[in-house]
Amino acid sequence: MSNKPSIPKGTRDFSPIEMARRNYIFDTIKNVYKKYGFQQIETPAMENLSTLIGTGGDESDKLIFKILNSGDYLKKADKENLIAQNSSLTTKSIAEKALRYDLTVPFARYVVQNQNDITFPFRRFQIQPVWRADRPQKGRYREFYQCDADIIGSDSLLSEVDLIKIIDDVFTELFQGKLNYTVSINNRKILQGIVESVGESNNFEAIVVAIDKYDKIGSEGVKKEIEFLGIESENIEKLELLLLSKDLIVLGNELNPTNDIKRNQEILEGLSEYLELSINGKKGIEELEFVFEKLEQLGIKTANVKLDLTLARGLGYYTGTIIEVKIDNFPSITGGGRYDDLTGKFGLKDVSGVGISFGADRIYDVLLDNNLYPEFKGDSTQVLFINFGETEQDYCLPLLFQLREANINSEIYPSAAKMKKQMTFANNKGIKYVVLVGSDEMESGKLTVKDMETGEQENLTIEELINMIK
Amino acid sequence: MSNKPSIPKGTRDFSPIEMARRNYIFDTIKNVYKKYGFQQIETPAMENLSTLIGTGGDESDKLIFKILNSGDYLKKADKENLIAQNSSLTTKSIAEKALRYDLTVPFARYVVQNQNDITFPFRRFQIQPVWRADRPQKGRYREFYQCDADIIGSDSLLSEVDLIKIIDDVFTELFQGKLNYTVSINNRKILQGIVESVGESNNFEAIVVAIDKYDKIGSEGVKKEIEFLGIESENIEKLELLLLSKDLIVLGNELNPTNDIKRNQEILEGLSEYLELSINGKKGIEELEFVFEKLEQLGIKTANVKLDLTLARGLGYYTGTIIEVKIDNFPSITGGGRYDDLTGKFGLKDVSGVGISFGADRIYDVLLDNNLYPEFKGDSTQVLFINFGETEQDYCLPLLFQLREANINSEIYPSAAKMKKQMTFANNKGIKYVVLVGSDEMESGKLTVKDMETGEQENLTIEELINMIK
């Protein structure tokens, strides 16, 4: 093989500068999670296939990467299916393991498996890659990182408040107040209530699927989809009134302190009256009220927090609060919600939890497009000793190690290459200081130090150089 | 499915305390790598199968986890092989991708693919999991982390010096001078020279395989294996003299400053005379001399660095210096060496490099067995507000957020559960301070703060609490 090598489509290598940016995002999220009492766990890349399938529906199952059994795997395969070349019936017999599809299912499995060692309510975070056999396209990869935080084993709505404050903290730090972003909140129980109160409970799932397309097809599109379900026009009008009204409540923040608390309360009261006959609906309003009230009291830094009744977040496992973060004209960068039966599949019933997931790859692009990364100079080499030959090299080596002992990232060019080559190396690697040592410097003990950014040169002892950098 | 869930054999979950320990190891290694000018990269978990196979021999190929193609994968499979249930001939037609087996092959692929964007010599480090379909046993996993550093694009022996100094720095920090460990060094060219000088070049590989078993079967065992190859007894005696002598040179360190530089030089001179007729052998001695000389000059902190002519490190791709780190009675915890043609497979010839790999999982066990982990209290929640009910909760929430703004990891118990339950929660999570707020505290503004380690209670304002913790 001597063709230029490549990597599987939808996957990526990360170069040093890309790693610095990614670590910056991960570290920011990690530190905020820790501030809120979350603890990190990791789970293996591979899970038993039986753990993963049947959790997100047939479409999701197709997107799971399966791992071929080791050894003589075909021996155990069903011969009839093999001969018929029936892929879907063969898979289970030749692939017992698969790559995780998200971090939520492995977490549910972890909780059940380790339930006796876990202190509930359990605040865990997890930052790891996941794999999906999706069609790759701009911004969609087959290997990508999720940054999840969940609080499991408590139905307290303080958890929701914490998660929304976490979102506010993370994006306040990453966006530095320079980007407008919206945290939309809704509650699946309110959606249920609305559908119940117009007598269309039987059509709940289909209606949610339609509403979920709001951002793609607009209010008229959603209306048409709902008409198509054969729902009476009178009921559609009732639904329309509520479902197609966005931005019902908007909380102010430190940048736009435009809270109209009275108006917000009136809206919730109005909704509450409307849903009076639905237990689910009233419960949903109550939950929402609590969350908004606490957020108003505690204050928001930079997020535009709003109630959006058109937010549905698919057919997933959500049963209460749902949350989604968006920047204008960009897909969701963070999402989450409350679930009541995540661990039921693994035999542990009635455990309520709520979680969010930051999409690191989309956040990466947003920060890059908007030039919001800090400089990472200190992360790479700070000082390079130019190598003029054996004598000078021997003189420089102990000095180099003095810098390293002082925790200054430094190196010596490994051979006495041409000066130009060594300077180009320093430039390409973004090294700030270059140290030149010839016979004059060895005699005086004063090193010639060149600042590669300003071009200025100074004569310094090694101690002076260390002090200058520190 | 309601059986208790499990994970694939040979894989592991990592709990919060295990994560704290692992991050401690990774961070220590990472910071030392950075101090020496190394830059981080990451590559995808999956590579094209064609990238991975044929790099480590047939046995290695069998240990590669293959990923089943998506969709109707059997359609493209060779029907004859399917019907014959011939696994090995079918694999390539149904699995184009596989999980990486180590970090070295993906790195070689990365270098070739990105050669125009890389500034050589390239110092890269990479800390990621790898997967091997090995038989799991104590200390051997199917998913484990490697922590690799390589310098590629330079044949300077200063790279070797840096890597050995890195090993010394990392284990000085992790072992705190409390564990004895040995860095064995050899050079494949010396091994070649020795085999040449007894006229057994044709048997080089077989002899290396025999020597490689030294630690398992001892000198007598190695001798028998070599006899078994049909080598003349005269030559075996010559080989024995050199190959079976361990600890030929031992460098002193700060703990045991017992350097006998003169004796070391004599040994190398003796070896050099013995290998006078072998170009490879003389080159190997020269290389070794340079490395030992520089290490002597720069000094070693805690490692026992020695020349071990019985070190072979398998049949791999090594062509020069080889390095291995061991603790008494424990398998190798770090290893590496120089290679001259790692990228040749991908079409880039004559690129020399040298690298090491820390085995994080073995180091984890060593630190645990020897009680060498620091306390990680600050990493988890530091302060818990006990929840006495709605009024107290509302009073505590803004205080909680004041702590978080001061970067103190803190939380409030999410419901007014029984006092005992909340205190047990604090205990289990290892939380140091518990804050109790009742009507007295709300009136005075002085919080009751209990130190869970000493049992002592103090009355503090929130500002005083923040100052105490900082």
Q: Which residue ranges make up each domain of chain B?
A: 8-65+101-176+349-377, 182-326, 380-469
Please name the member of B7, B16, B133 whose beta carbon is closest to the beta carbon of A47.
Answer: B7
Q: Best mutation site among A74, A143, A343, A396 for testing chain B: the one with the most B CBs within 10 Å?
A: A74
The pLDDT score that the predictor gives to residue A55 is: 66
Q: Is the pLDDT of residue B17 over 80?
A: yes
Query: DSSP class of residue B42?
Result: B
Chain segment B430-441, per-residue pLDDT in tens:
999 999 999 999
A174, burial (CB in 10 Å: exposed 0-12, middle 13-18, buried 19+): buried
Total-model pTM: 0.94
Any idea which fold B182-326 has?
Answer: BirA Bifunctional Protein; domain 2 (3.30.930)
Contact (CB, 8 A) for B295 and B305: yes
Q: With contacts defined as CB-CB under 8 Å, which chain A residues touch B345?
A: 1-2
Contact (CB, 8 A) for A310 and A191: no
Shortest distance, CA A249 to any CA of chain B (angstroms):
23
Chain segment B375-428, per-residue pLDDT in tens:
886 678 999 999 999 999 999 999 999 999 999 999 999 999 999 999 999 999
Please name the member of A67, A87, A425 whose beta carbon is closest to the beta carbon of B74.
Answer: A87
First to last CA, chain A: 49
Query: CA–CA separation, A88 vs B258, rounded Å?
Result: 68
The pLDDT score that the predictor gives to residue B1 is: 46
Shortest distance, CA B235 to any CA of chain A (angstroms):
40
Q: Which of A391, A401, A403 is nearest to A437 (CA)?
A: A391
Task: State whether A14 and B129 contact (CB < 8 Å).
Answer: no
The pLDDT score that the predictor gives to residue B314 is: 79
Please give the CATH number for the structural domain made up of B8-65+101-176+349-377.
Answer: 3.30.930.10
The pLDDT score that the predictor gives to residue B241 is: 67
Q: Is the pLDDT of residue B329 over 80?
A: no
High-pLDDT (> 70) share of chain B, %: 96
Please name the member of A16, A42, A142 whose beta carbon is closest to the beta carbon of B39.
Answer: A16
Q: Which residue has the tokens 């590579």?
A: B47
Q: Which residue has the tokens 């390293």?
A: A404
The pLDDT score that the predictor gives to residue B125 is: 98
Q: With contacts defined as CB-CB under 8 Å, which chain A residues touch B162?
A: 411
Chain segment B218-273, per-residue pLDDT in tens:
888 888 888 888 888 888 887 876 666 666 677 888 888 877 777 777 888 888 88
Q: With contacts defined as CB-CB under 8 Å, which chain A residues touch B41?
A: 13-16, 19
Ranges of beta strands (E only) in A314-422 are 318-327, 334-339, 353-359, 383-385, 410-412
Query: CA–CA separation, A313 vs A222, rounded Å?
Result: 15
Q: Best mutation site among B15, B18, B159, B427 for testing chain A: the one with the most A CBs within 10 Å?
A: B15
Contact (CB, 8 A) for B69 and A90: no
Query: CA–CA separation, B225 vs B213, rounded Å?
Result: 10
Query: What size, in residues, is chain A?
Result: 470
Contact (CB, 8 A) for B131 and B84: no
Predicted confidence pLDDT, tens digits, chain A (470 residues): 446 899 999 999 999 999 999 999 999 999 999 999 999 999 999 999 999 997 666 777 889 999 999 989 999 888 889 888 999 889 999 999 999 999 999 999 999 999 999 999 999 999 999 999 999 988 889 999 999 999 999 999 999 999 999 999 999 999 999 999 999 999 999 999 989 888 888 888 888 888 888 888 888 888 888 888 888 888 888 787 666 666 667 788 888 887 777 777 788 888 888 888 899 999 999 999 999 999 999 999 999 999 988 898 876 789 999 999 999 877 899 999 999 988 998 999 999 999 999 999 999 999 999 999 998 766 789 999 999 999 999 999 999 999 999 999 999 999 999 999 999 999 999 999 999 999 999 999 999 999 999 999 999 999 999 999 98
Contact (CB, 8 A) for A189 and A275: no
Element (H, E) at B424: helix B419-428
The pLDDT score that the predictor gives to residue A449 is: 98
pLDDT band, very low/low/confident/very high, at B192 (cuts 50, 70, 90): very high
Task: State whether B16 and A71 contact (CB < 8 Å).
Answer: no
Query: DSSP class of residue A140?
Result: B
Task: State whether B79 and A65 contact (CB < 8 Å).
Answer: no
Q: With contacts defined as CB-CB under 8 Å, which chain A residues touch B90?
A: 74
The pLDDT score that the predictor gives to residue A247 is: 64
Q: Which residues does B442 contact at the CB level (< 8 Å), separation at least 6?
A: B391, B392, B395
The pLDDT score that the predictor gives to residue A155 is: 95
Query: DSSP class of residue B73?
Result: G
- Beta-bridge partner residues of A66: A98
Written as six digits, the tokens of B156 are 């300077």
Identify the closest residue of chain B to A113 by CA–CA distance. B5
Do the domains spanning A8-65+101-176+349-377 and A182-326 agree at the CATH topology level? yes
To the question of domain A380-469 being in CATH 3.40.50.800, the answer is: yes
Task: State whether B129 and A298 contact (CB < 8 Å).
Answer: no
Q: With contacts defined as CB-CB under 8 Å, which chain B residues touch A291?
A: none
Size of interface A-B (CB pairs under 8 A): 292
Q: Which of B453, B296, B280 is nearest to B382 (CA)?
A: B453
Task: State whether B74 and A67 contact (CB < 8 Å).
Answer: no
